[in-house]
Structure 1
């Protein structure tokens, strides 16, 4: 598996920039900072970093809807990806 994080520019309507991982093997793209509910984050995500084995991603997000009690001042997150 090969994954590469990419922070995309704000989307239509001024949607906040978010990191995505492209899996070259399965040819799929995964949103790395989706809220637990699956909704689009309501704030920007910055400094995404993926481990060399592609299992973990760390990032800072200014979204308030990723987890209950999210802070608009920014919080650090670590997400486990489904990599072998």
Structure 2
């Protein structure tokens, strides 16, 4: 829940920056605010590696290491969702 609230705050900051700069490209600010945490979540979780590397990592890491990776990646993914949802809504409306 805290992650979604942080993501909502991130989306509000993107909206505020877009309004203050006057560039009028709100959708790109929202997409940037969404993509950065989502890419960080993918990198931290290890989802962007090939199958044999993932298998090797799963074999060599401990349960504590895996839990720590998921403890960091899940909130980052959830933090990016409100901005992504707002960007999709903006795309559909426009």
For Structure 1 versus Structure 2, the TM-score category normalised by the shorter chain is under 0.3
TM-score by length of 1: 0.22
Higher relative contact order (CA 8 A, sep 6+): 2
Q: Kindly name which structure, 1 or 2, has the bigger radius of gyration based on alpha carbons.
A: 2
TM-score by length of 2: 0.21
Query: Which of the two has greater strand per residue?
Result: 1
Query: Which of the two has greater helix per residue?
Result: 2
